[in-house]
Amino acid sequence: MSPQQAPHQETSTETLHARAPLGTELLRIEGLRKYFPIKAGLIRREVGQIKAVDGVDLTLNAGETLGVVGESGCGKSTMARSVARLLDPTGGKVTFRGHDITFSSRRELREFRREIQFVFQDPYASLNPRMTVREIVAEPLRVHGRYKNGGKDHVDQLMETVGLKSEHGNRFPHEFSGGQRQRIGVARALALNPQLLMLDEPVSALDVSIQAQVINLLERLQDEFHLSYVFIAHDLSVVRHISDRVAVMYLGKIMETGTKAEIYDRPSHPYTQALLSAAPIPDPAKRGKRERIVLKGDVPSPADPPSGCVFRTRCWKAEDICAEEVPQLIDRGQGHPVACHFAEADSKVLA
Amino acid sequence: MPEPVLSIRDLVVDFGTEDGVVHAVDGVSYDIHPGETLGVVGESGSGKSVTVMSILGLIPQPPGRIVRGEAFFKGVDLLKVNKRELREIRGKDIAMIFQDPMTSLNPVFTVGDQIAEAMEVHDSSLNDDRLRAKAIELLELVGVPNAQRRVDQYPHEYSGGMRQRAMIAMSIANQPSLLIADEPTTALDVTIQAQILEVMKTAQRETNAATIMITHDLGIIAEMADRVVVMYAGHVVEVGDVGTIFHRPRHPYTLGLMNSLPRLEVDERWLKPIPGQPPSMINLPPGCPFHPRCELFQGREACRTERPPLDPIESQHHRAACHFKHELKNETSKFAQEGAAS
């Protein structure tokens, strides 16, 4: 790019806040890494690193939902937090609307945070118990200096949007059930009219009958406000339901990514296959009729991940090459990227 | 049908709280028969755990209070025996597996010592060598690798899945006739959960114990249970064999629950939630506790004023507590519909 074309600060903010046309690239994650130091001894010397996220590549288009699945400790939450800069990444690059935001300054970050908001798993822990619902939903507006002009009406509108009554505004979080609290969290996340929501296990703490209410709400809001979602969950059924595309994580890396049909109907990474085959299906007629892949052992420590393919220690297909060579996340003839030397589509896992 | 192993009758348990009395269990009755797996499902606060905790004397009193009821285990009413007798039964004839094995294992004793202690308490004739050998045998049975070595390790040296295996080993050490598993895999990842469910099946085969599986996860119930008890707001709303409950439920709550689940194998545009919020356990709605959220209610007097009895439908084995259950006669859950289509 020549110096004449370099945009100055104002235009840059404009392109950041202008809504991305549906279907165009909104977020690009390249080689993202987040390592946590392991410290030991009297002087807290660094003796090692936990590689929580270790080279993640993903993209998200406007209006789309990217589901991220994986078991606890696979780095899915750390990945989301590093993207939204709730954590500072160790390396890699995050681009939002064409702006490199990986290491942006506090001031730039403030602009960027209007566009990307978080909804957390535990609505009990993420809402300040001393603030009324109205204060909670209004807080992002106040922080960004947008409350004075019509803020009160805006809050009323937000509450109505998520299905809360306006008279609930003066109550405190503890007066609400889990599902209602999650609605408050969603209203707060929508206050600044963001383009992207990072949803970190947003329905995992909710009862089944309430889960469906919140999932439907999220889908309705997405249509209404052209939102894009990164939806992190361990529940494979919920992820299938809400996602357009899915990424499967294991030990800090993406094992496989593709459209929901590619991942669920033609899983090609052994880990994806094992994960899907292990998920219980609530239909007793299917009992004993599914072939179940029971993986041996536990997930290795991210402080000392296996060489080569990180999944090889639990994989039934592992051969010498798996210990020697890290399999790249590329299309190996399955039509979508798979990080396995022996990738092979299996359409019978859920059949 | 043989005599039930455990028969709970009209159990009522309250908890005194600052805000008022919580009616955690409100007239619960169910049976469990030898060798069967009974799934107990319900959402948080439905009373599914409190029911079994109460009959085992494991709820703190106060604030808890067993208002009335009976729980016959091999002819003995567990609610009438003294603490010492109950302790004798617990851990020997009735064993429990909890959600979080780290809090139910003692961190300062080795896994082997704890399994040995569980056996020794109920059978003092076993010597140390014999206890150790049995502990290793049990750990091998539940799939702990290198059991010879791991028997001498402490719980913190075990992973979550391994701890749950150790818990299962301990629970079956005395060949119990009743095994109660309360959310045994909820804290575990899905691939580890699959391992533990396999271990539970092995443990059951070995001991032939009747098993009560308490969980909110309908997938696990579909996988494991022979019969199912569905609880809502401290009440049993439906009971029947697993196929009936999942495919042709006759209580609107059960049907709503099944139909609100997202599917793993099929795409659907919208989910069908149960409207409204779970009731306050302090101010339960009068009549049927589900009526404010119920499709069948339609303003009808009976739902608002009379508590529906858990009456049989067609056979004695399938019961539902709904005044208008006959209106669901031709209804099936979405699982049955797919089954019929394929």
Model ipTM value? 0.86
Instruction: List the single residue in B159, B225, B264 with the smallest CB-CB distance to A350.
Output: B264
Q: Is residue A17 part of a domain?
A: yes
Residues of B in contact with A179 (CB under 8 A): 277
Of B161, B196, B225, at which residue does a domain stop?
B225
Taking CB atoms and an 8 Å limit, are A241 and B271 in contact across chains? yes
Q: What pTM does this model have?
A: 0.89
Residue type, B226: D
CB distance A204 to B254 below 8 Å: no
**Does one domain contain both B155 and B86?**
yes
| The pLDDT of residue A298 | 80
CB distance A250 to A305 below 8 Å: no
**Does one domain contain both B220 and B254?**
no
Interface of A with B in 237-256 (CB under 8 A): 237-238, 240-241
Q: Is residue B195 part of a domain?
A: yes
Cβ-Cβ contacts under 8 Å for A109 (sequence gap 6 or more): A85, A101
Q: Is residue B313 part of a domain?
A: yes
Residue A9 has pLDDT above 60, yes or no: no
| The pLDDT of residue A338 | 97
d(CA A231, CA A243): 8
Look at chain A and report how many structural domains it folds into.
1
Residues of A in contact with B258 (CB under 8 A): 282
**Does one domain contain both B114 and B204?**
yes
> Residue B180 sits in which domain range?
6-225
Residues of A in contact with B272 (CB under 8 A): 212
Burial class of B186 by CB neighbour count within 10 A (0 to 12, 13 to 18, 19+)? middle
Instruction: List the single residue in A207, A234, A285 with the smallest CB-CB distance to B278.
Output: A207
**Does one domain contain both B220 and B294?**
no
If you measure CA to CA, which chain A residue comes closest to B257?
A209
Taking CB atoms and an 8 Å limit, are B267 and A260 in contact across chains? yes
Which residue do the tokens 């997405």 mark?
A222
| The pLDDT of residue B1 | 62
d(CA B37, CA B156): 31
Q: How many CB pairs under 8 A join A and B?
A: 138
Residues of B in contact with A282 (CB under 8 A): 218-219, 221-222, 246, 258, 261, 335
pLDDT digits (tens, 9 = 90+) for A217-227: 999 999 999 99
| The pLDDT of residue A6 | 45
The closest of B133, B167, B161 to B147, measured between CA atoms, is B133
Taking CB atoms and an 8 Å limit, are B222 and A287 in contact across chains? yes
Taking 50 as the pLDDT cut, the residues of chain B under it are: 339-342
**Does one domain contain both B279 and B307?**
yes
pLDDT digits (tens, 9 = 90+) for A108-118: 888 888 899 99
A40 part of contact set with chain B, CB < 8 Å: no
d(CA A69, CA A218): 18
Taking CB atoms and an 8 Å limit, are B218 and A286 in contact across chains? no
pLDDT digits (tens, 9 = 90+) for A36-76: 998 888 888 888 889 999 999 999 999 999 999 998 889 99
**Does one domain contain both B148 and B245?**
no
Coil, strand or helix at A322: helix
What 3 state SS string does A103-151 have? Answer: CCCHHHHHHHHCCEEEECCCCCCCCCCCCCHHHHHHHHHHHCCCCCCCH
**Does one domain contain both B174 and B270?**
no
The closest of A75, A68, A95, A74 to A83, measured between CA atoms, is A95
Q: Is residue B263 part of a domain?
A: yes
User: Which of A251, A260, A272, A283 to probe the B interface (max B CBs under 10 A)?
Assistant: A283
Residue A78 has pLDDT above 50, yes or no: yes
Instruction: List the single residue in A219, A282, A292 with the smallest CB-CB distance to B246.
Output: A282
Instruction: List the single residue in A240, A282, A294 with the smallest CB-CB distance to B218.
Output: A282
If you measure CA to CA, which chain A residue comes closest to B258?
A282
Of B225, B243, B264, at which residue does a domain stop?
B225
The closest of A165, A211, A105 to B273, measured between CA atoms, is A211
Taking CB atoms and an 8 Å limit, are B219 and A240 in contact across chains? no
A328: enclosing H helix or E strand? none
Which residue do the tokens 């359409």 mark?
A347
Cβ count within 10 A of residue A255: 29
> Residue A34 sits in which domain range?
3-128+195-205+227-338
Residues of A in contact with B278 (CB under 8 A): 177, 207, 209-210
Instruction: List the single residue in A219, A234, A260 with the smallest CB-CB distance to B190.
Output: A234
Mean per-residue pLDDT over chain A, rounded: 89
Coil, strand or helix at A216: helix
Q: Is residue A302 part of a domain?
A: yes
A55 backbone dihedrals φ, ψ, rounded to 5°: 85, 65
CB distance B156 to B186 below 8 Å: no
Taking CB atoms and an 8 Å limit, are B277 and A219 in contact across chains? no
Taking CB atoms and an 8 Å limit, are B270 and A216 in contact across chains? yes
- Distances, alpha carbon B172 to alpha carbons B137, B155, B188, in Å: 12, 18, 20
**Does one domain contain both B12 and B158?**
yes
Look at chain B and report how many structural domains it folds into.
2
d(CA A293, CA A273): 8
Q: What angle do CA B30, B31, B32 make, to 5 degrees?
A: 135
**Does one domain contain both B111 and B60?**
yes
Cβ count within 10 A of residue B337: 12
Taking CB atoms and an 8 Å limit, are A279 and B219 in contact across chains? yes
A301 part of contact set with chain B, CB < 8 Å: no
Residues of A in contact with B263 (CB under 8 A): 237, 240-241
CB distance A197 to A230 below 8 Å: yes
Taking CB atoms and an 8 Å limit, are B190 and A236 in contact across chains? yes
d(CA A128, CA A226): 28
If you measure CA to CA, which chain A residue comes closest to B271?
A212
d(CA B124, CA A287): 42
CB distance B164 to B101 below 8 Å: yes
Coil, strand or helix at B176: coil
**Does one domain contain both B221 and B235?**
no
Beta strands A65-69 and A245-250: pairing type?
parallel
A332 part of contact set with chain B, CB < 8 Å: no
Q: How confident is the model at residue A12 (pLDDT cuts 50, 70, 90)?
A: low
**Does one domain contain both B192 and B328?**
no
CATH code of the domain covering residue B84: 3.40.50.300
pLDDT digits (tens, 9 = 90+) for B191-245: 888 888 888 888 888 888 999 999 999 999 999 999 999 999 999 999 999 999 9
Cβ-Cβ contacts under 8 Å for A101 (sequence gap 6 or more): A85, A94, A95, A108, A109, A112
| The pLDDT of residue B337 | 64
Q: Is residue B148 part of a domain?
A: yes
Could you write out the DSSP letters of every residue in B216-266? S-HHHHHHH-SEEEEEETTEEEEEEEHHHHHHS--SHHHHHHHHHSPPSSS
Of B206, B225, B244, at which residue does a domain stop?
B225
Residues of B in contact with A281 (CB under 8 A): 219, 222-223, 264-265
Peptide bond preceding B63 in cis form (omega within 30 of 0): yes
A167: enclosing H helix or E strand? none
The structure tokens listed for A272 are: 């994806």
**Does one domain contain both B217 and B299?**
no
CB distance B116 to B138 below 8 Å: no
Distance from CA of A279 to the nearest CA of B (A): 6
User: Which of A174, A182, A208 to probe the B interface (max B CBs under 10 A)?
Assistant: A208
Percent of chain B residues past pLDDT 70, beyond the cut: 98
If you measure CA to CA, which chain A residue comes closest to B194?
A278
The closest of B178, B264, B268, B250 to B218, measured between CA atoms, is B264
Helix axes A178-190, A151-161, angle to 10 degrees: 130
Q: Is residue B1 part of a domain?
A: no
| The pLDDT of residue A264 | 95
CATH code of the domain covering residue A257: 3.40.50.300
| The pLDDT of residue A104 | 83
